Chain A
Amino acid sequence: MTSPLQQKLKINGSSVVTANRTWDGVVVYRTAAKGWSADLADAAIVRNSDEAKALLAEAVADDVGAIGPYIAPVQVDEAGKILPGNLREQIRRDGVTIDLPV
């Protein structure tokens, strides 16, 4: 299987690197401070393939902190707020779209 770092990255607009935190699986985003945050607002934004590859490489190297890092699309609105770029990422940020049984 091709390593994420060797994959061709096609970036259309703003993106972030996201993964799941190793110890509890919570959705996290790579920050500019080389750490992870559970808040999308803290995510480092990349806008081209070179930036994305560099951020992803840094994330992959932190194998203890989080698992399965990948590039995810986001939208940045006029006020600078970062929003998920598709339904999957919206669900990862906000949780399930249904009421939980309890």
Chain B
Amino acid sequence: MYAYDEIDRTLVNERVSEFRDQVQRRLSGELTEDEFKMLRLQNGVYLQLHAYMFRVAIPYGTLASNQLRRLAHVARKYDRGYGHFTTRQNIQFNWIKLSDLPDALADLAEVGIHAMQTSGNNMRNVTSDQWAGVAPGEIEDPRIWSELIRQHTTLHPEFSFLPRKFKIAITASDHDRAAIKVHDIGLRLIKNEKNETGFEVLVGGGLGRTPFIGKTIKHFVHGRDLLSYIEAILRVYNQYGRRDNIYKARIKILVHELGIEKFSREVEEEWQHIRNSSLQIDDEVIEDIRSRFIYPAYEKLPHMPDELRQAAADPDFEAWRKNSVAAHKNPGYSIVTISLKPIGAPPGDATAEQMDALADLADTYSFGEIRVGHEQNLALPHVAKRDLPALWKALDKLGLATPNVNLITDIIACPGLDYCSLANARSIPIAQELTRRFANHELANLIGRLHINISGCINACGHHHVGHIGILGVEKNGEEVYQITIGGRADESAALGNLIGPGVKFDEVADVVEDIVEAYLALRERPEELFVDTVKRLGVEPFKERVYATR
């Protein structure tokens, strides 16, 4: 956990007072909506189909139990008793009243949570690996650097009026759980030959209307130069990024149009002006941030305690353990992923009661800490192996022990037309139907790792481009139509999926996915060959043939 200092607390509290005044002036008519819109967006407040939507930041996906309880309180007191975890380590409340928002922000501020950098054309919430600090083999905790960037960019005037929103993600593991290649800037923490910390810097990734995989702009930027290098990139973007066309305003378009070589030359030139300035980071700054991260006092515990050995006789426990429990850097502990994808439920939603109960479980079993992943699941990062059976029983009672992490029913979906004013088609009912079709865990396990991502419009909040199976809802002649892609992935081998053919109607989507899966099961060379690898080996044609042969 990161402990905020007095500067952070003052900043967050002042922000609440400021917004309370702005809301009052808006409700009295002193501010017009045109004047107020940017102010509310800078505090995470959107207008959706039915109500305002309030998006709250969970920086680098780390939550303390008291913070999760406070999110539950906001859901219960100001909303309709639930929240929706997003694909960028935020939580959204869908039914909140503008007149209640200052009070909700004030309640959150008491536990160090805010909504800055969750919307608007600024530097957004910096995201990271939800297993940061506990993943085996991780080079070092990337959240130290996430926090450094957060501190530097929060309310920074130069980054508050960018041509468009700007997203950074950081990982420090070989396996990328932070989707860094589809971010405006992706940072991969590495060491140089002197064992000094630095970053491979990628730029120009992104999804949306025009998707691109990020390109490496510099193979090694020393940690002390990280802020100046990022600032150089942002300055080039701020100068050349297009403000005349919202669809061409993201940095990915600029990088594509200039070409990575020219873009990197511009950045290099800018960087030389500022790299030896006050932006150079002293070791003490990093150490000060590091000291504010509180790490658990782990016990020396056995790798295979008796409790775990005995519980292994229960096939339901074993199914959950094999699916949802991952290795921890400390052998006596585990990382437990909590699926927010129960069969037939909206992906990523959690009720206030579930949040409260999870906070209690985090206190009992995970040193009071919870993590949020971009796949819209939660995790308890420090669970002693001896406690796994008890934790499983408790999660099962809450409906949170579905053993489907990374399987076909672990679907990423945006809110879609049920909630979103930008959407053209519904996402959640498609996800619900697919989870029902593949509800049998034996079948899901037979299929193996398969990520379905669903977006209700081209803005791609459901990351459909990088789903192993991607589903994009569009509107055609007043009807919902869904385009299906296959072969995308969001990890270290990130790739964009390829369209398999014409769009299909709402009622046909689940049938089409079943056809694709049946084709895969018939075509794979061996059970270990993942869906996405079969697609890579064979291309889309055999799947296309199967889907459209009878349609």
A contact residues vs B (CB 8 Å cutoff) = 20, 22-27, 63-64, 67-68, 86-88, 91-92, 95-98, 100-102
Contact = CB atoms under 8 A, between A and B. Distances in A.
A57 B209 CA distance: 32
Contacts of A22: 26-27, 33, 98
B349 interface: yes
B50 A101 contact: no
Contacts of A63: 29, 32-33
30 contacts: A20-B51, A22-B27, A23-B27, A23-B97, A23-B98, A23-B99, A24-B52, A24-B98, A25-B52, A25-B96, A27-B50, A63-B32, A64-B27, A67-B33, A86-B478, A88-B49, A91-B49, A91-B418, A92-B49, A95-B50, A96-B50, A96-B418, A98-B418, A100-B82, A101-B81, A101-B345, A101-B349, A101-B350, A102-B351, A102-B352
A27 B98 CA distance: 14
A31 to B, nearest CB: 20
Interface in B48-100: 48-52, 80-82, 96-99
Among A20, A26, A27, A102, residue most surrounded by chain B Cβ atoms (within 10 Å): A102
A63 B33 CA distance: 7
A20 B53 CA distance: 12
B426 interface: yes
Given A24-B51, A64-B29, A88-B417, 10 more contacts: A23-B27, A23-B99, A25-B98, A27-B50, A64-B27, A96-B418, A96-B419, A98-B428, A98-B429, A101-B81
Nearest to A62: B29
Contacts of A88: 49, 417
B82 A102 contact: yes
Contacts of A101: 81-82, 345-346, 349-351
Contact of B97 (A25, A100, A102): A25
B47 interface: yes
Contacts of A92: 49-50
Considering residues A25, A27, A86, which has the most beta carbons from chain B within 10 angstroms of its beta carbon?
A25
Contacts of A100: 80, 82
Given A67-B33, A98-B418, A98-B429, A25 B80 contact: no
B402 to A, nearest CB: 14
A24 B97 contact: yes
B480 interface: yes
Contacts of A25: 47-48, 50-52, 96-98
A81 to B, nearest CB: 20
A84 to B, nearest CB: 12
B432 interface: yes
A25 B80 CA distance: 14
A13 B478 CA distance: 15
A22 B29 CA distance: 10
Nearest to A60: B33
A81 B361 CA distance: 52
Interface centre among A64, A87, A98, A100, by most chain B C-beta atoms within 10 angstroms, is A98
A7 B350 CA distance: 41
B81 A98 contact: no
Contact of A97 (B32, B99, B418): B418
Contact of A20 (B47, B417, B480): B47
A2 B154 CA distance: 32
B432 to A, nearest CB: 7
B33 A97 contact: no
A81 B51 CA distance: 25
A102 B72 CA distance: 13
Contacts of A20: 47, 51
Contacts of B353: 102
Nearest to A67: B33
B355 to A, nearest CB: 11
Interface string B110-137: 0000000000000000000000000000
Q: Which 10 A-B pairs have the closest CB atoms?
A: A25-B51, A102-B81, A24-B97, A96-B418, A64-B29, A25-B52, A101-B82, A67-B33, A101-B349, A23-B99
B47 A97 contact: no
Contacts of B29: 63-64
B504 to A, nearest CB: 17
Interface in B477-500: 478, 480
B514 to A, nearest CB: 21
Interface in B403-452: 417-419, 426, 428-429, 432
B542 to A, nearest CB: 34
Nearest to A66: B33
Interface string B311-355: 000000000000000000000000000000000011001111100
A87 B82 CA distance: 25
Contacts of A26: 50-51
B80 to A, nearest CB: 6
Contacts of A23: 27, 97-99
